[in-house]
Amino acid sequence: MSSFQLPSVHRCKMIVTQRNDNARTGLNSNETILNQANVSGANFGKIFERIVDGSVYAQPLVVKNVLLPGQSEPLDVLYVATMHNSVYCFYAAHSNITAPLWKQNLGPSIQLPDGDVGGFGYRDIAWEVGILSTPVIDTTANAIFVVSTGPDPSQGMKVIHTLWKLGLDGAKQGSVQLNANHNAIQFSSNRQNQRPALTLANGTVYIAFASYGDTRDYQGWILGYSAATLSHNNTFTTAPNYKSGDFGAGIWQAGNGLAVDGEGNLYCMTGNGEDTGDWSESVLKLSPGLDKVLSFFTPSNKHNLNISDEDFGSSGVVLIPGTNFVIGGGKASILYLMDRGNLGGFNTTQNSVVASLNVAAGEDPTKTHHIHGAPAYYNGPDGPRLYVWPENSYPKAVSFAGSSPNLTVSSIGTLTDPENIPGGSYGMPGGILSVSSDGTKPGTGILWANHPYTGDANQDVRPGILRAFDPYDLTKVLYHSRQNSMRDDFGNMAKFCCPTILGGRVYQATMGGIQSKQWLQIDTTNVTPALANQNDNRLAAAFLGTDGQINVNSSPDGLLWDNNTRRLVAGQHSNLSPGLAFNSNGTTYLGWVGLDSNINIMQTSSAALDGWEFQKRTLDQSNTGVSLAFSNGMLIVAWTGNDPNESLNVATTIDGGASWKTKVTLVDSSQSKPALVMNGNILVLAWTGRDSLAQVNVMTCSDLNSLQFSNKVTIGTARASSTPAMDFDNDGVPWLVWNGPGPQNLLSSITSESSNTSGFTDQRARVRTFQDDSSPSGPAFCRFKGRMIMAWEGGDHALNYAVVGRGSVAVYGLFGGTNNLIQHDEL
């Protein structure tokens, strides 16, 4: 029997492809820093994060010794691809260098929902489609290959896929629009989902496709493009006899790339499709030129798998090192061990494979136990193991040995937290796994898992958790990111994205959205709260208790709110939303509408938010709450008047509200509290109109002395039930958040990539809707310590605080004795 040798990159000094190598083992056996002794809550946790402009479905990649323009010496760098069609390069090590070394955007993404991409009911992917698959890096050519998805303005906004060749310095070295046909079958990008990671082998970049939500008229494709010239050299379709209306045999593999053996042959798994005339529900071994199916295996129950949507290809295969074996399994939760020389073919009465194992045998038959993500491999001091973590199930270690081995479960995890079910949380996708070790040294092996913390991530964005296990005893959880969630929580799970482990660090992609939510039952309100950034030292909040008393509190990170720091503003009551502002000299201003409808302003110089003084009661009255901002020595106040038109008013004061320096009554009107925010020297006002559509409006003022507003934008996609909120991100991108109308009161946001408020109406503006429990009162929003923090009243009146992000990569590592980061510059 011939043996399979792993490529040299397997002893990983770099991570240049998905799951670390073309065998797709998920193993880095060159991790000399992290081990079972030091990966614990006391020594290990999140040390920094890298903020990006979109969700990260692709596995982060790390390359050593890259010389970038403007740098005097080579750097160890982290590459991140986003669903906003951007590629980022960050310094992989030091936490104090947060800005990207470079960023390359590859054109607009597809905003979801889109009737042409998955249909308007499609929810398998959230918010947008851009770079979905993991790129691949060629360190010899100093190039990274990426496939983007987006509309092409030159083709009437037709959806296209584009293969890009970028230098490791970010320079565009070439691109080509992906296209193919086979036996009159035309490749259509709006039907074909480029989910599997890119594969680099045989001088070729192989690109595989499935569908968006099993919509008809799609097939599985593999397209081969020259890595040197980007010429299209090879094509394979899993449905060679396709006719209109057929569907299936997609290659999606939960994001896994094609596996490649020592002879350059390719291996893939396919999903459900037609019973005859295609390669559905199969493992395929293909020639390097994609012109021959060299061997295949199809389970004997193919028909049942097809009709019940039990994709065999929901994971992807692993080529087991040092053997001639291939292993993989799908939604039926059965692992099949196959011989590379003869995968087993198809027989309706039996499966001619080396061995098989139902990893969910005896478990709850009323729940699914799908395998997503290929098994992870580790050859430790007690022999080789494979690891799977099906959904609604415990993680499993599977042993095998000999030339004709049996597969046996050697260890089973026991965790049931937090939802008291096997595996901890209900539903898709289970655990997405990686392994790190220092060769076969005892005590160095760690099984890492990216897993949903709660709920089903099939068609929803769910909070995630990073876990670390002893690979020989899965009942031993070494660490998880919810042990100290205020420090270590990474946010929402990036579906199917395995952790990247290298050089003492673990890189975990995240989705963005509402994440790290804190639900404070002790703080209840009936109106919109207010937030103010106190020089990035603390985040201040003001809210009304359900008894109408005004409360203030502050937090060191925007999420940890201590009841001991909460203060009542003595004797002050309201039934409308308060306002809050801070100046750089240390003064915090509080504004509210009294029970007599008059506007009041107080201030304090106390960091503890007590000692409120200098109360000013103006003669102006309001039907809604007030908003505050501060700039150039002036406090700015905005409110809705109590006149019949409910006109918007904006005023400035230099004496704490004793008198107005300038006051204007605008022709625009609102029936809810407006929002104010300063962007440099520009004042931005946002409000919900009184028209029947309840559209959100924005306009700006560049002269605080005259308070003359211009550049009004009415945002047709933003229809609010009440108060909107606004602030500007670190990169200058403006955010606008609001409660949408309707019984669910869904929170929504929009960002403008043009870095100005007029960009809210162009194709670069992005709308996201978050399904979270909210009252109709509207959110507050504030940038604090580089993160966007939102506060809102829940449906039970409890205050909620959360980070709202476009996407990020959380980075975990070791701490020193005083919780300082231990820097490991050598990856």
Q: What value does the mean pLDDT take over residues 816-820?
A: 52
Q: What is the pLDDT of residue 48?
A: 93
Listed as own residue / partner, the contacts of 90-96 with beta carbons closer than 8 Å and 24 or more positions apart are 90/50, 90/809, 92/62, 92/503, 92/505, 92/827, 93/503, 93/505, 93/823, 93/824, 93/825, 93/827, 94/823, 94/825, 95/47, 95/48, 95/811, 95/821
**Contact call for residues 568 and 578 (beta carbons, < 8 A):** no
The answer to whether position 822 is within a domain reads: no
Cα–Cα nearest to 447, from 469, 430, 431: 469
Cα–Cα nearest to 189, from 207, 164, 165: 207
Whether the per-residue pLDDT at 719 is higher than 80: the answer is: yes
Beta bridge partner(s), residue 815: 821
Q: What is the pLDDT of residue 12?
A: 63
The answer to whether position 314 is within a domain reads: yes
Which two three-digit tokens encode residue 611? 């000692």
Strands (E), 641-708: 647-653, 662-669, 675-679, 682-688, 695-701
Distance CA 508, CA 136 (A): 17
Question: In this structure, are 584 and 706 located in the same domain?
Answer: yes
The answer to whether position 824 is within a domain reads: no
The answer to whether position 826 is within a domain reads: no
Question: In this structure, are 336 and 458 located in the same domain?
Answer: yes
Which of 279-283, 404-408, 588-592, 748-752 is predicted least confidently?
Answer: 404-408
Q: Which residue has the higher pLDDT, 745 or 559?
A: 559
Which of 19-28, 309-318, 511-520, 765-774 is predicted least confidently?
Answer: 765-774
The answer to whether position 34 is within a domain reads: yes
Question: In this structure, are 508 and 530 located in the same domain?
Answer: no
Question: In this structure, are 627 and 713 located in the same domain?
Answer: yes
Band (pLDDT 50/70/90 cuts) for residue 397 is very high
Instruction: Please give the C-alpha separations between residue 805 and each of 52, 96, 788, in angstroms, as whole numbers.
Output: 9, 20, 7
Question: In this structure, are 346 and 263 located in the same domain?
Answer: yes
Instruction: Please give the C-alpha separations between residue 820 and each of 201, 256, 714, 788, in angstroms, as whole numbers.
Output: 42, 36, 47, 25
Cα–Cα nearest to 591, from 555, 558, 632, 550: 550
List pLDDT tens digits, range 528-570.
999 999 999 999 999 998 888 999 999 999 999 988 888 999 8
Cα–Cα nearest to 325, from 342, 313, 350: 342
Q: What is the pLDDT of residue 110?
A: 94
Question: In this structure, are 484 and 604 located in the same domain?
Answer: no
List the CATH number of the domain containing 537: 2.120.10.10
Which DSSP letter does residue 622 get?
Answer: B
Domain endpoint, select from 494, 512, 530: 512
Question: In this structure, are 46 and 72 located in the same domain?
Answer: yes
Its domain, for residue 800, covers: 515-805
Model pTM above 0.85: yes
Q: What is the pLDDT of residue 819?
A: 44
**Contact call for residues 590 and 612 (beta carbons, < 8 A):** yes
Distance CA 627, CA 545 (A): 18
The answer to whether position 274 is within a domain reads: yes
Average pLDDT value for the chain: 91
List pLDDT tens digits, range 142-173.
999 999 999 998 898 999 999 999 999 999 99
The answer to whether position 813 is within a domain reads: no
Domains: count for the chain = 2
DSSP string, 120-151: TT--SS-SEES--S--EEETTTTEEEEEEEEE
Question: In this structure, are 482 and 580 located in the same domain?
Answer: no
Using DSSP's 3-state secondary structure scheme, residue 10 falls into helix
Q: What share of the chain is helix, strand, coil (3-state, %, to 5)?
A: 5, 45, 50
Distance of CA 467 to the CA centre of its chain: 17
The answer to whether position 318 is within a domain reads: yes
Domain endpoint, select from 478, 495, 512: 512
Which amino acid is present at 483?
Answer: Q
Distance CA 605, CA 607 (A): 6
Q: What is the pLDDT of residue 495?
A: 93
Buried b (16+ CB within 10 A) or exposed e, 575-589: ebbbbbbbbeeebbb
Question: In this structure, are 506 and 537 located in the same domain?
Answer: no
Q: How many CB atoms lie within 10 A of CB 351?
A: 18
Q: What value does the mean pLDDT take over residues 125-151?
A: 96
Question: In this structure, are 416 and 359 located in the same domain?
Answer: yes
Residues 6+ apart with CB under 8 A from 500: 15, 59, 60, 61, 62, 434, 506, 507, 508
Question: In this structure, are 522 and 482 located in the same domain?
Answer: no
List pLDDT tens digits, range 457-506.
999 999 999 999 999 999 999 999 999 988 999 999 999 999 999 999 99
Whether the per-residue pLDDT at 425 is higher than 80: the answer is: yes
Measure the CA dihedral 237/243/247/249, to 10°. -30
Domain endpoint, select from 512, 547, 570: 512
Which amino acid is present at 132?
Answer: L
List the CATH number of the domain containing 486: 2.140.10.10
**Contact call for residues 146 and 130 (beta carbons, < 8 A):** no
Q: What is the pLDDT of residue 10?
A: 45
Question: In this structure, are 476 and 543 located in the same domain?
Answer: no
Which amino acid is present at 721?
Answer: S
Residues 6+ apart with CB under 8 A from 76: 62, 63, 64, 65, 66, 91, 92, 93, 503, 825, 826, 827
Cα–Cα nearest to 78, from 450, 467, 506, 494: 506
